[in-house]
């Protein structure tokens, strides 16, 4: 969620149980302003918190001119000193998916090890080769943040525009979804590069507005029912929770442009989802 609206938007996602205490919020208000200036970001988002066994990672995200591509992720333990995370490349993602298991520890230099035994040759003269993959927790953090952004970051339909040049920017004239629109998953989009859009039939494509509908719709997610949509805070705030990434909460105040999402959780994807719904 945008750092400027942090002081009231945290209250709106508090229904999931986790919040920040006053010391942390005030520290964020100060440090994110400095962060924005130092890194020359257009705006700074407070992305969330990943709970570790020893320490918790606080995560902020800076956005440049293009909201989708110019992203930088930073982490901190005390909400004041921010460290930049390296972008997650495909090779790192693969390594992390092999090695990292269980909860985060809370130490960026903690090393996860994975031993894979490759067998070569025939049955009798089998040559065993041990391949050890090592990954530190900092790259796991980068990968986790990247994956959550890819799979669970949500925006209401119409909040972002893509210009004909491909630049994605905030839609200044977005007035919010109406109450009836806000009750349907079709009006919420994944804020990541579209994957399903090309698979749609021509008939469905006919209704889409190329400036707005350049993202995937949540209702196309597999399995069906991987989002929980509810009205909270006396039924005035629309809250979406991801069941695939438990801990991700999105809020939107219908008929106002206020929206945002935050992740506070243990950084583990819910692979058991198909059994649970």
Partner 1 sequence: MESTDGNDAKSEQRLKSAAVLKSFMLKSSTESKLNLYDHLSRVLMKVMDEHPDNAVDVIEDVSREVKRGLFEDKQSTLRDLPQTTAAELLAEQQRLLFSRPEEADQEEELMDTPLPNVSEVAFYLEQAGVGLGREEMQRVFLALKQLVESQGLPRCRLWGKILGTESSYIVAEAEYREGEEEEESTEEAAEDEERDVEKEMNPLPQSAYKPPPTVPKEALGTGANKFAFYVCKEPGLPWVKLPSVSPAQITGARQIRKFFTGTLDTPIVSYPHFPGNEANYLRAQIARISAGTQVSPQGFYQAGEEEGDEEDEAPRDSFEVNPDFEGVPVAEMAESLSTWVHHVQHILQQGRCTWVNLAVKPGDDSNEEGEGEEKEEEPDEPEPEVGPPLLTPLSQDAEMLNIPPWTSKMSSVLTSQHALAVLRSNLWPGAYSYASGKKFENIYVGWGLKYSGEGFSQAVPPLPQKEYPSGPEITEALDPSVEEEQVLKEALEEEQAAQEEKDDTDDPEEEDDD
- The residues binding partner 1 (CB under 8 A) are 11-12, 14-24, 51, 53-54, 78, 101-103, 179, 225, 228, 230-236, 241, 243, 246, 265-266, 271-272, 275-277
Work out the number of other CB atoms within 10 angstroms of the CB of residue 204.
10
214, 200 contact by CB (below 8 A):
no
CB of 224 to partner 1, least distance (A): 12
Element (H, E) at 22: helix 22-39
Give the nearer residue to partner 1 in terms of CB position, either 15 or 64.
Answer: 15
| Closer to partner 1 by Cβ: residue 41 or 251 | 251
Rg (CA), the chain: 20
Task: Report the sign of the C-alpha dihedral through residues 69, 74, 75, 79, in that order.
Answer: negative
Q: How far is the CB of 31 from partner 1 (least distance, A)?
A: 13
Task: Between 19 and 133, name the residue whose CB sits nearer to partner 1.
Answer: 19
| Closer CB to partner 1, 21 or 128, in the complex | 21
Torsion of Cα atoms, 170 then 171 then 177 then 183, to 10°: -40
Q: How far is the CB of 262 from partner 1 (least distance, A)?
A: 13
Quick one: 102 or 121, whose CB is closer to partner 1? 102
DSSP string, 142-205: HHHHHHHHHHH-EEETTSEEE-TTS-EEE-TT-----HHHHTSGGGEEESS--SSGGGS-HHHH
Q: Among residues 11 and 186, whose Cβ is nearest to partner 1? A: 11
Q: Report whether 188 contacts 156 (CB < 8 A).
A: yes
Return the number of the residue (209 or 228) whose C-beta is nearest partner 1: 228
The nearest distance, CB 274 to partner 1, in angstroms, is: 9
State the Cα–Cα distance between residues 277 and 27, nearest whole angstrom.
Answer: 39
Cα–Cα dist 29/60, whole Å? 12
As a whole number of angstroms, the distance between CA 14 and CA 25 comes to 13
Q: 51 near 264, Cβ under 8 Å? A: yes
CB of 243 to partner 1, least distance (A): 7
Minimum CB separation of residue 268 from partner 1 in Å reads 9
């Amino acid at each position: 969620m945008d750092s400027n609206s942090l002081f009231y938007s945290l209250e709106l996602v508090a229904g999931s149980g986790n919040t920040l205490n006053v010391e942390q919020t005030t520290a964020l208000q100060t440090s994110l302003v400095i962060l924005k200036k130092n890194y020359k970001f257009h705006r700074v988002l407070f992305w969330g918190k990943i709970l570790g066994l020893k320490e918790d990672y606080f995560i902020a995200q800076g956005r440049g001119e293009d909201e989708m591509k110019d992203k930088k992720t930073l982490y901190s333990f005390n909400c004041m000193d921010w460290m930049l995370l390296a972008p997650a490349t495909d090779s790192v993602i693969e390594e992390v998916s092999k090695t990292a298991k269980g909860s985060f520890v809370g130490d960026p230099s903690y090393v996860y090890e994975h031993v894979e035994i490759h067998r070569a040759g025939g049955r009798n003269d089998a040559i065993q080769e041990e391949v050890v993959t090592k990954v530190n927790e900092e790259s796991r953090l980068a990968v986790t943040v990247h994956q959550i952004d890819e799979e669970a970051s949500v925006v209401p339909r119409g909040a972002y525009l893509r210009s004909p040049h491909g630049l994605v920017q905030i839609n200044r004239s977005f007035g919010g979804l109406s109450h009836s629109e806000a009750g349907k998953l079709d009006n919420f989009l994944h804020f990541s590069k579209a994957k399903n859009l090309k698979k749609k039939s021509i008939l469905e494509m006919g209704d889409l507005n190329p400036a707005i509908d350049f993202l995937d719709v949540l209702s196309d997610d597999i399995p069906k029912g991987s989002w929980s949509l509810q009205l909270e805070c006396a039924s005035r705030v629309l809250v979406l929770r991801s069941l695939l990434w438990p801990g991700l909460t999105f809020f939107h105040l219908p008929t106002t442009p206020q929206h945002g999402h935050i992740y506070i959780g243990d950084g583990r994807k819910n692979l058991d989802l198909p059994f649970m719904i």
